[in-house]
Each structure stands twice: as C-alpha cells, then as structure tokens.
Amino acid sequence: MTADTLPARAMPSGDAATAATKKSAFKSIFIVASGNFLEMFDFMVFGYYATYISKAFFPTGSEFVSLLLTLMTFGAGFLMRPVGALVLGAYVDHHGRRKGLLLTLGLMALGTLAIAITPTYDQIGLAAPLIILAGRLVQGLSAGVEVGGVSVYLNEIAPPHRKGFYTSWQSASQQAAVVFAALIGLLVSTSLSPETMQAWGWRIPFIIGCVMIPFLFIIRRHVEETDAFLNRKEHPKIGEIVRIIGANWGIVLQGALMAVMTTVFFYMITAYTPTFGSKVLNLGPGEALFVTACVGLTNFILLPVMGALSDKVGRRPLLITASVLGVVLAYPLMSWLVASPSFGKLLAVELLLATIYATYNGAFIVYLTEAIPAHVRTVGFSLAYSMATAIFGGFTPAISTALIGATGDKAIPGAWCAAAALLSLLALLIGSRVNRHAEAHG
C-alpha cells in the first residue's frame, strides 16, 4: 500500500493537517453559503413564476400591465438593499459576521413565508399585493447585506493566494439555487395543468423554500467568527462607519458602477429567461426553465474556475476581457436569437452570456472585497453592490419588458446588457487611473 492510498489517520502529520484544513475550509464554505442559497432560490422562484403571480395578485385586465407590475414588485425588493447594506452592514461590522449572517437568514425566511401563504387578490383584495410587496421589501433588506456578508466572510477565511477561489463560492452558491429552483419549476410545471398551476401550483416552490428554513438555521448556527474580525481591537459603531464610508465614497461609487454589469447580466440570464423565453420568444415554459437550469449549472462550474484564475493572472485582465465581450456581443447575440427563436439558439445564447458573466463575476467579487477598508468591509461592499442592484440589476426584467413594449425590438434586452458592460468597463478604467493618480500625489 502506497502513502497515497493510506487512510487519513495513517498519513504523515503534514498530509493529515492539509486534509483537515481542506475539510474545514469546505465545511465553512458550505455553512456560510447555505443561507445565500435560500436568498437566491426565493428570488429566482419569484422571477420564474412572474406570470402566475401577476394573475394572482395584480389583475388589471391587461396581461402586459399585470406582468409589468409584478416585475416592478420583484425589482422593488432591491430598493431596500442599500438600506439593508447600511444598517445591517454596520451591524455585521460592529457585532460580527456570525451574528449578522443569522439575522439576515431570519429576515429572508420571514419574507419567503409571507409570499408563500398570502391569499390572492380575489380573496382579500388590495391587501394581497401589499403583503407581497412587503415580503419583497423584507427580502431586499436582508439581501442588502447577505451577499456582502458572505463574500467578506469567505475572503477573510481564505489563504492569501486563494481568495479569488474562496470568494467565488458566494456566487456559486447562488447558481446552485438557480439550478434547484429551475428544476423544481420544471417538475411542477410539467406535472400540473395550467389551471392548477395558476390556482396553487406556483406556491409549491415557495413552500419548499419555507421547509428548508429550519435546516438552514441549524446549519448556519455552526458558523464560527473569522479571525480577522476577532483580531481587530476596535469595531466601529454606525456613526463612525458612516463617516469612514463617506471618506471612501470614491471606492464605493466605483464598486457600484463596476457591479452594474454583473447584476444586469445575472438577472438577465436567470430571473428573466423563463419570462423572455415563454412570453417574448413563444417557446414552451419547460424549455425556458431547462435553459435556465443549464445556465445555473454552467455558472456553478465556471465561477470557481474564474475565481481561481483571477488568483493566478490578476483581477483586471478578467474584468476587462469580460466587459469588452459584453459590450461587443450582447446585442448581436440577442438579435440572432430573436430573428428565428428556437430552443437550441436560446440555450446557445444564454450559455455564451453566462460565460461572460462568470468570467467577470469570478474576478469582481474578490476585487471589491479587497478594495474596501477592512474595518468597514461588509457595509462598504454591501452598499456598493446593493446600489448597483437597486438601480440597474434588480429591475432588469422590468426594464427589458418595458423596452420591448416601447421599441418593439425583441432584442433590446441585449442592448441593455451591452450598456451595463460599457458602464462597468469605464468605471474600472477611469477609477483605476484616478486611484493611481491619487497614490502618485498622495
């Protein structure tokens, strides 16, 4: 028996220590990312079932207006993200990563439960859409710091040479949720009739999300505080945090503008795909959901790969390459798709856009965590990311729907993606130049 085939307890001490370290790292990533999974699962389910939700809670007599109101409600949750980023982010930076991650999971669970059990408009009238809106706002409040909290935690527990790889699992956990939500949606939609789906079938994925909540609380209770947080002698309170963020507003603003591409592309290729595929391209709902599952699986594989690549070649080369590809390819790809829609073309276009997204995001998340001062890292990261999501990314399904209605161009969502990529590219290039100038004259 060779050394390589020995059981762990018989390994030399160095190998045993390495194996134990890898096991501990995997455990930490899994525990922290579990709540992030629930957040994205609930967001995706809302986007996937926008058509059914529009008829249940926003009946207007116009299918287009009802769908637009539903997508606006989906986007409204993102308006609370900057509030969550500032208030809850300050809580995390002051009280610790562990307490903050438990709090955000509780808020997300509350919003999910509200959407799952709310009676329809026909049953309780105007109260129904108001409760749905409130549920989305609570979810948005939680999500405002969930992404930042998880990203910062993973960055702080990562070895210096593997921070890109570790941090990329924040986004990868979201992709696992995309796949899971799409597969459940595919199973439910093919098992139930359209009438049953409209009556109550669309609630099944939300109920599944509620069932997961107790297990996720049990898992996340095992989160350990990071050494980086424990080793800091002082933890600023909210007033000081606001002052520090104000002093570093340029970094936060650059981060927000750079986050525009990753948020717009993400919600385009995930949350909007089922609606775009079925309502705009007139493909079957099952086909669009299957494509979405393929997108999530592709991203799940590529994000850690790109995060690891950014550890090798640096963040900027990947960021520049992906954003340039986004500017050049997004609209032509979408134009090619809508010229003669098919399942194969939708799959090809979405996977190409997913590759561009994964390349950019795999480098961007760790880039932003490294740019924000450590003692306000959670609130700074969360504020930058949530502003981009609130203004641009979260409203991508609604903006795309409105643009198609206004222009009659079914490929116009591609132009929206290209504009987002151009804005983020300029933010990277101009911001980096400003930073170098400041360092040279500081």
pLDDT in tens, 398-414: 899 999 999 999 999 99
Spatial contact of 234 and 376, defined as CB atoms under 8 Å apart: no
pTM, full prediction: 0.79
**Which of these, 353, 276, 303, 335, lies nearest to 48 by C-alpha position?**
276
**Which of these, 88, 186, 192, lies nearest to 140 by C-alpha position?**
88
What's the DSSP call for residue 411? T
CB-neighbour burial class of residue 352 (10 A; exposed 0-12, middle 13-18, buried 19+):
middle
CB-neighbour burial class of residue 68 (10 A; exposed 0-12, middle 13-18, buried 19+):
buried
Q: Which residue has the tokens 């390349």?
A: 359
Spatial contact of 391 and 264, defined as CB atoms under 8 Å apart: no
Rounded Cα distance, 337 and 350, in Å: 10
Number of helices and strands in the chain (H, E) = 20, 0
Encoded tokens for 234 = 């002082």
Spatial contact of 357 and 266, defined as CB atoms under 8 Å apart: yes
**Which of these, 197, 65, 35, 39, lies nearest to 129 by C-alpha position?**
65
Sign of CA dihedral 34, 35, 36, 37: positive
Rounded Cα distance, 296 and 373, in Å: 32
In the chain, the amino acid numbered 284 is: G
3-state secondary structure of 23: helix
**Which of these, 343, 341, 328, lies nearest to 417 by C-alpha position?**
328
In the chain, the amino acid numbered 241 is: I
CA torsion angle 147 76 94 232 (round to 10): 30
Rounded Cα distance, 132 and 136, in Å: 6
Q: Which residue has the tokens 């190409």?
A: 352
User: Measured between alpha carbons, how far is residue 285 from residues 132, 288, 289, 399 in Å?
Assistant: 23, 5, 6, 21
**Which of these, 171, 137, 184, lies nearest to 385 by C-alpha position?**
171
Rounded Cα distance, 434 and 438, in Å: 6
Encoded tokens for 185 = 């949606």
Q: Where are the domains of the chain?
A: 27-222+237-437
Spatial contact of 184 and 211, defined as CB atoms under 8 Å apart: no
For the chain, 442 residues long, give each residue's pLDDT as a single digit of tens. 333 433 444 444 555 445 445 556 677 777 777 767 777 787 778 877 888 899 999 998 888 889 888 888 887 887 888 888 877 777 777 766 667 777 777 888 888 888 889 999 999 999 999 999 998 888 888 877 777 777 888 888 888 888 999 999 888 888 888 888 888 888 888 888 888 988 899 899 889 888 888 887 777 776 665 565 666 656 666 677 778 778 878 888 999 999 999 999 999 998 888 889 988 999 987 898 899 889 999 999 999 999 999 999 999 999 999 999 999 999 999 999 999 999 999 999 999 999 999 999 999 999 998 888 777 787 888 889 889 988 898 889 889 999 999 999 999 999 999 999 999 999 999 876 544 433 343 3
Rounded Cα distance, 36 and 209, in Å: 12
Reported as a single tens digit per residue, the pLDDT across 14-34 is 554 454 455 566 777 777 777
Domain 27-222+237-437 is in which class? mainly alpha
CB-neighbour burial class of residue 281 (10 A; exposed 0-12, middle 13-18, buried 19+):
buried
In the chain, the amino acid numbered 193 is: S
CB-neighbour burial class of residue 58 (10 A; exposed 0-12, middle 13-18, buried 19+):
buried
